Amino acid sequence: MITTGGSDPFNLSLRLAGIILSEEEFKDIGINIVVGSGFTNVDSLRKLCKKKCKRYTA
């Protein structure tokens, strides 16, 4: 589990997801990204997941 805080003011969720999803060694690992209501980069996170995730639910 990696936690960045409910609002993730430093946008670490998006950055960490991008790193994890681009690494070959993590290709078979499922990740769940949970963000709080104060998270402001939802659209960017959705775009990343639609592009790189095998299974995506918003």
Asked, for residue 29, whether it belongs to a domain, the answer is yes
Domain housing 37: 12-52
User: Number of folded domains in the chain?
Assistant: 1
Asked, for residue 41, whether it belongs to a domain, the answer is yes
Asked, for residue 47, whether it belongs to a domain, the answer is yes
Per-residue pLDDT 10s for the chain (58 aa) are 778 888 998 999 899 999 998 999 988 888 888 888 899 998 998 898 888 877 767 6
Asked, for residue 57, whether it belongs to a domain, the answer is no
**pLDDT given at position 43:** 92
pTM of the model: 0.74
CA distances from 24 to 9, 27, 29, 49 (A): 28, 5, 10, 16
What is the C-alpha separation between 53 and 20, in angstroms, rounded? 11
Asked, for residue 1, whether it belongs to a domain, the answer is no
Asked, for residue 4, whether it belongs to a domain, the answer is no
Residue type at position 17:
A
**pLDDT given at position 55:** 73
- The values of phi and psi at residue 9, to 5°, are -60, -20
Asked, for residue 7, whether it belongs to a domain, the answer is no
Residue 4 is encoded by which pair of tokens? 């960045």
**pLDDT given at position 56:** 67
